[in-house]
Chains A and B, each alone.
Chain A
Amino acid sequence: MKTRYLLPVVLLACGVAQAQDVFPSRTITMIVPFPPGGVADVTGRPTAAALEKVLKQPVAVTNRPGAGGAVGNAAVANAKPDGYTVLMALSSITVIPEADKLFNRKPAYTLEQFAPVALVSADPVILVVHPSLPVKTVKEVIALARKQPGELSYSSSGVYGALHMPMEMFLHAAKLKMRHVPTTGGGPAITQLLGGHVTMTAGGPAAITSHVKAGKLRPIVTWGAERHPNYKEVPTFKEQGMDIVYYIWAGMFVPVATPEPAVKVLRDAMRQAVADPDFKSQMAKVNSPVSYLDAPDFAKYVDADAKRLAAVVKVVGKVGN
C-alpha cells in the first residue's frame, strides 16, 4: 500500500532536485534602490521584462528606496548570494561609500560586496541654463561666473548626488564658486531651473529634452566623451579644453559570493536581453539608449568611475564647512 504513495513523492523529490540544478528555477527579484518613476526604475522595469523573455522565469522588480540608494544597495550587498537577488544600481553606488568615509560613518556597504553583471545604459549629463541668462558657450558661463563670484547658483539632485558630482567637477576644473541648492531628485532640480530660481543645473538627456525643444532651457556643454547623438550642436567639455567626463549609468550587480554558473547565466541573459528589439525601442524612447558592457569590461568601467568620483568627493569635502 505504502509504495503507491511513495512513488509520486520520490518523483516529486527528483523534480525538485533537478529544478535546483538549473538556474533559474523560480522568480528572480530585481531590487531597484530608488522610488518608482526614477532613472533606475525606468531602466529596471523594461530590463526585467526583457530578462523574463530570455530566462523564462518571472523577474519581479522591487523598489527599496531610501538614503539616496544606500538602503537598496545594502539590501543586495547582504542578500543571499544565489543569483535570485539582483540589483539595478545607478552610478551613485560608488559615491555612497566615499561619503560614508567622509563622515566617519559605518559604511552601509562597500563596493567589494558586489560582482558586476552588465552595464545597461550610460547617459552623459548636459549643462543647461535658464534661457534668460545671456550665455551660449561654456566660456561665457565661466566669464560670467568670474564677473559675479559666488552669485550664480545651480540646483542638484542632492548633496553628493548624481547631479552634484558633475557640477563640482566643472567648478573645480574652472576654479569657480557658485551657490549650490540641493533638492530631492533630478526632477525637482530641473523644476528649480525652469522657474528661474537658480541659474543652471546638470541634467540627463531624458529629463531635459522636452524643455530644450520648447526653448525653456538652453544646453551649453556635455560631460560626455563625445557629442550626444540627439544634441549634435552641443560640444563636449573635452572639446572646450577641460578634461572632465561624467555619465549617469545604470547597471546590474549581484552579491559578490554568487556562484559563477549563476552569474554566467545572468550575463548571457543580459546579452540577449539588451539585443531585444522591444527593449531597445523602449530605452530609446525614454532617451536613454542602451550602451551594453559585459561583466569584465563593466568591472573596469566601474573601477575607473569609482576612482574619478572618489577624488571629487574628497575635493568637495564636507559641505557647509
Chain B
Amino acid sequence: MLETFNSLMMGFAVAFDPKVFMYAVGGCIIGTLVGMMPGLGPLAGISLLLPATFGLNPIIAIVLLAGVYYGAMYGGSTTSILMRIPGEAASVMTCVDGYAMTQNGRAGPALAIAAIGSFFAGTVGVIGLMLMAPTLASFALRFGPPEYTALLLMGLFVLAYMSGGSMLKTLAMAFFGLLLGMIGIDVMSGYTRFSFGMVELGDGVGIVPVAVGLFGISEILMTAGQAEPPKVQRPKLRELIPSREEFRLSLGPIVRGSLLGFAIGIIPGSAHVISSFVSYGVERRLSKHPERFGKGAIEGVAGPESANNSAATGAFVPMLALGIPTGPVTAVMIAAIMVHGILPGPMLIQQQPDLFWGFVASMYVGNLVLLILNLPMVGLFVNLLRIPYAYLYPCVLAFCILGCYSVSNSVTDVWIMLAMGAIGYGLRKFGFDLAPVALGLVLGPMLELSLRQSLALSGGTYGIFLERPIALTMFVLALVLLAFALKPVIFKGKDWRAGVGLDDPPPG
C-alpha cells in the first residue's frame, strides 16, 4: 500500500510537470469539444492527433490522447441532453431522460449531474486501475467467447426494463435492431448478407449513423412537424443547480453505474458500449417509480453517464497491464506509445513506472480539470437553448452530417443517418421507443460472433457454456433476470406497466 502511495506521488510529480499538465488540460478541452460534436467520437479525435504525438515524449503523448478520450466521454452527454443527439454511441441512453429533462426545463441539473457522475466514475475508474490493474487484467483475459456470449445475453435481457412503452413494441424494436445488425459480411464464413452488392455495407451499418439518425434527425423532424414553433427556453440561473432531491436520487445510480461500468470496461472487446444500456436497465429495475423513466428521471442520466465514463477508464486496464487493445481507441493509443519504442505489454508497469504512474496521476488531474471545466459551462451550454429553432436546427443538422461523415469518411453513412432519421420519425409517430433499436444493433453482431466462436471452439457442442464457471454463473444470472422479466407476462397485472396504464398505446 505504501509502495503504491509512493509510486503515485512520483506519478503526480510527473503529472504536475508544467508541460505534461498543459497537454493534459489541452487534451481534455479538445476531447470535450470532440465529444460535443454529434457523431464525432473519441476515435476520430485521437486518430487525428496521433501524428502530432510522434514528436512528443511518450508520457505527454499518452496523457494528451487519454485526455481527448475521456474528455470526449464527458462531452458526449451535452448534445444528448440538450438536443437529443448522441455525441457518441455510449450516450444513446442519456438522450432518453436527459432530453426529457431539458423539455421539463431541467437541462441545467441534467448537465450538472452528468458532469458530477462522470467525475465520480472517472475517479473510481482510476482508483481501480491503480490498485488492481494487473490482477484484474489477468481475470479479464479469462473472458473468452463463451463468457462473452453469457455477458451479452444478460445485456439483451436488460431490454425488458429499458423501455417505457408496451413490451410488444419494445421487442419489435429490439428485433428491428438485431436485424439491422445482420447486415454485412458474416465474420465466420465470409458470406455477405443483405448488402445488395454495396461494398460499403460490407461491415454492416455503424451505430453512430443509426443513433444520430434515429434520435437526433427524428427530433429535428418532429419539431419541424409541430403546428406551432416550440417555445424557446429561458433558463434562470437558479434552475441550473440540481435540487437536493435530485442529488439524493442520483447518488445511488452514480455509485452503481461507476462500479458496473468499470467491471464491463475491463473486458477486452467492445462491450463497454453496453455498460450505459445495462446501467439504465438496472436503475429502472431498482427504482420505486419506474414509470418516471423516459419522462425525465434524473437517475436515467446519472447511471448511464457514470457507467460510460468508468467503462472508458476500465478499458485502460488490459491496455496498460497486458498491452492488448480493448477497442479501436486503445489500439491507437498503443500505436502512439509504440512509435516511441515502448512496448505495451505485461512488463510495462515495471519497466516504465513513470509512464504508468504519470498516466494514472494525470487522469486524476484530468478528471478534476474536466469537472471544473464543465460545471461552469453548464450555464453557457444551456443558453444554447435560447437560440430560436429556426437558426439552431439547421446548424445542428449540418454538424450531424459532418460528424457522421467523419467517422469513416463515408457518404454511405450519411445516407444511412438520413434514412434512419426518416424511419425514426415514422416510428415515433406511432409511439415506438427507439433505444431498443440501438441496443439490438450493438448487441446483435457481438452476440452472434461470440456464440459462433464458442461453438467453433467446442466443435459444435453447447456443453462449452456449462463447463466454464464464469460463463455458467452469468448464464444463471441471465436466467434469473429473464424470469423476473417474464413474471408479469405470466402473472398478468403484476407489472408496473399495467399499474400506470403504459401497456395502452401512449396518447398522440
Binding site for B on A (CB under 8 A): 35-38, 41-42, 45-46, 48-49, 61-68, 70-71, 74, 99, 102-103, 105-106, 108, 150-151, 153, 158-160, 179-184, 187-188, 190-192, 194-198, 206, 209-211, 213-214, 216, 282, 285-287, 318-320
Rounded to whole Å, the gap between the CB of A205 and the closest CB of chain B is 11
A106/B345 in contact, CB under 8 A: no
B47 touching A37 by the CB < 8 A rule? yes
Bound-state Cα–Cα, A211 to B348, Å = 11
Q: Report the interface size for chain B: residues with CB under 8 A from the other chain.
A: 55
Q: How far apart are B195's CB and chain A's nearest CB, in angstroms?
A: 9
For B50, the chain A residues whose CB sits under 8 A away are 36, 45
CB pair A197 B457 closer than 8 Å? yes
With A70-B202, A108-B199, A214-B346 as contacts: A37 and B456 at CB distance below 8 Å: no
Report the minimum CB–CB distance from B394 to chain A (whole Å): 27
How far is A109 from B383 in the complex, measured between Cα atoms in Å? Answer: 50
Closest residue of A by beta carbon distance from B148: A197
Binary contact readout B334-362 vs A (1 if CB under 8 angstroms, 0 otherwise): 11001111011111100000000000000
Is A213 a contact partner of B345 (Cβ separation < 8 A)? yes
Q: Are A153 and B335 in contact, with the CB atoms below 8 A?
A: no
Please determine whether A71 and B200 come into contact, CB atoms closer than 8 angstroms.
yes
List residues of chain B with CB within 8 A of the CB of A41: 47, 332, 335
Tell me the residues in window 302-354 of chain B with beta carbons closer than 8 Å to chain A beta carbons: 318, 322-325, 328, 331-335, 338-341, 343-348
- Contact at B189–A179, with CB atoms within 8 Å? no
Q: Determine whether B43 belongs to the interface, using a CB cutoff of 8 Å to chain A.
A: yes
A66–B144 CB distance below 8 A: no
Is B203 a contact partner of A282 (Cβ separation < 8 A)?
no
Inter-subunit contact A184/B189 (CB<8 Å): no
Are the C-beta atoms of B145 and A197 separated by less than 8 Å? yes
The residue from B203, B268, B345 contacting A210, defined by CB atoms under 8 A apart: B345
- A195→B144 contact, CB < 8 A: yes
15 pairs, CB–CB < 8 Å, chain A vs chain B: A36-B43, A61-B51, A63-B47, A67-B200, A67-B203, A71-B202, A182-B187, A182-B453, A184-B449, A187-B324, A194-B324, A198-B457, A210-B343, A211-B345, A214-B345
Inter-subunit contact B203/A71 (CB<8 Å): yes
Is the C-beta of B364 less than 8 angstroms from some C-beta in chain A? no
Are A68 and B459 within 8 A (Cβ)?
no
Other A-B contacts than A37-B47, A41-B332, A106-B197, 17 sampled, CB-CB below 8 A, are A35-B408, A36-B46, A42-B338, A66-B203, A67-B185, A71-B410, A153-B457, A159-B187, A159-B190, A160-B190, A206-B338, A209-B345, A210-B344, A210-B348, A214-B345, A282-B339, A320-B188
The chain B residue sitting closest to A278, CB to CB, is B54
Residue of B nearest to A195 (CB): B141
Contacts of A184 in B (CB 8 A): 187, 449
Shortest Cβ distance from A260 into chain B, in angstroms? 29
Please indicate which of the listed interface residues B143, B334, B343, B459 has the most CB atoms of chain A within 10 Å of its own CB: B343
Q: Is the CB of A210 within 8 A of B144?
A: no
B57 at the interface (CB under 8 A from A): no
- B6: interface (CB < 8 Å): no
Would A214 and B347 be within 8 Å (CB), given that A36-B332, A45-B51, A184-B187 are in contact? yes
Taken together as a complex, chains A and B put the C-alpha atoms of A211 and B43 apart, in Å, by 26
- Determine if B188 and A66 form an interchain contact, defined as CB atoms under 8 angstroms apart: no
- Complex interface: chain B residues within 8 A of A74 (CB): 199
Tell me, in angstroms, the Cα distance from A159 to B459 when the chains sit together: 17
Least Cβ distance of A313 to chain B in Å?
Answer: 10
Task: Give the residue of A103, A108, A183, A286 whose beta carbon is less than 8 angstroms from that of B339.
Answer: A286
| Inter-chain contact A49/B54, CB cutoff 8 Å | yes
In the assembled complex, which residues on chain B have CB atoms less than 8 Å from the CB atom of A182? 187-188, 453, 456
Closest approach, in angstroms, between the C-beta of A90 and any C-beta of chain B?
15
Among A48, A70, A285, the residue within 8 A (CB) of B199 is A70
A192 touches B144 (CB 8 A): yes
B335:A42 contact, CB within 8 angstroms: yes
Query: Please, how many angstroms separate the alpha-carbon atoms of A7 and B331 in the complex?
Result: 54
- Provide the residues of chain B in CB contact with A211, threshold 8 Å: 323, 345-346
Question: Does the CB pair A179–B54 fall under 8 Å?
Answer: no
A271 to chain B, nearest CB (A): 22
Inter-chain contact A37/B328, CB cutoff 8 Å: yes
Known: A36-B47, A49-B54. A319 touches B346 (CB 8 A): no
Task: Tell me if B459 and A318 are in contact (CB < 8 A).
Answer: no
Minimal beta-carbon separation of A151 from chain B (angstroms): 8
CB of B198 to closest CB in A, whole Å:
10
Q: State A196–B335 Cα separation when bound (angstroms).
A: 25
Q: Is B409 an interface residue (CB 8 A)?
A: yes
Q: Quick check: A319 and B188 within 8 Å, CB to CB?
A: yes
Beta-carbon contact of A35 and B190 below 8 Å = no
* Proximity string of chain B (225-243) to chain A, C-beta cutoff 8 Å, 1 when within and 0 when not: 0000000000000000000
Are A65 and B408 within 8 A (Cβ)?
yes
Determine how close the nearest CB of chain A comes to the CB of B205; give it in whole angstroms: 11
A196 to B140, CA, bound (A): 12
Is B494 close to A, CB under 8 A? no
Q: How far is the CB of B103 from chain A (nearest CB, A)?
A: 37
Instruction: Please report the C-alpha to C-alpha distance between residue A229 and residue B322 in the assembled complex, in whole angstroms.
Output: 24
Q: Is the CB of B409 within 8 A of A64?
A: yes
Collect the chain B residues with CB atoms within 8 Å of residue A213's CB: 343, 345, 347
Q: Are A48 and B202 within 8 A (Cβ)?
A: no
Q: Which partner residue on chain A sits nearest B459 by CB separation?
A: A179
A211 to B268, CA, bound (A): 16
Closest to B190 in A: A159
CB distance from B82 to the nearest CB of A (A): 29
A102 to B344, CA, bound (A): 39
| Bitwise interface map of B from 169 to 190 toward A, beta carbon under 8 Å scored 1, else 0 | 0000000000000001101111
* Minimum-distance CB pairs A-B, first 4: A67-B202, A210-B345, A37-B331, A36-B47
Q: A37-B335, A46-B339, A181-B453 are known contacts. Are A158 and B410 too (CB-CB below 8 A)? A: no
CB contacts (< 8 Å) of A159 on chain B: these are: 187-190
Contact at B190–A195, with CB atoms within 8 Å?
no
Q: Which residues of B contact A153 (CB under 8 A)?
A: 456-457
Given A48-B51, A183-B453, A285-B339, A68 and B188 contact (CB-CB distance below 8 Å): no
User: From residue A227, how far is it (CB to closest CB) to chain B in Å?
Assistant: 21
Q: Are B457 and A67 touching (Cβ within 8 A)? A: no
CA distance A87 to B143 in the complex (A): 37
Choose from B46, B325, B457 the contact partner of A179 (Cβ within 8 Å).
B457
A-contact bits for B276-314, CB 8 A (1 contact / 0 none): 000000000000000000000000000000000000000
In the complex, chain A residues whose CB is within 8 Å of the CB of B345: 209-211, 213-214
Alpha-carbon distance between A138 and B54 when the two chains are bound, in angstroms: 39
Q: Report the minimum CB–CB distance from B447 to chain A (whole Å).
A: 14
CB-CB under 8 A from A38, the residues of chain B are: 331
A63 touching B141 in the complex, CB below 8 Å, given contacts A180-B456, A181-B457, A214-B345: no
Q: Which residues of A sit under 8 angstroms from B142, Cβ to Cβ?
A: 195
Query: A74-B199, A153-B457, A198-B457 given as contacts; is B346 within 8 A of A285 (CB)?
Result: no
The answer to whether the Cβ of B275 comes within 8 Å of any Cβ in the partner chain is no
Give the shortest distance, in Å, between B423 (CB) and chain A (any CB).
22
- In the bound complex, what is the Cα–Cα distance between A206 and B339 (angstroms)? 11
> Is B80 an interface position by the 8 A CB rule?
no
Q: State the Cβ distance, A177 to closest chain B Cβ, in Å.
A: 11
* Residue of B with least CB distance to A74: B199
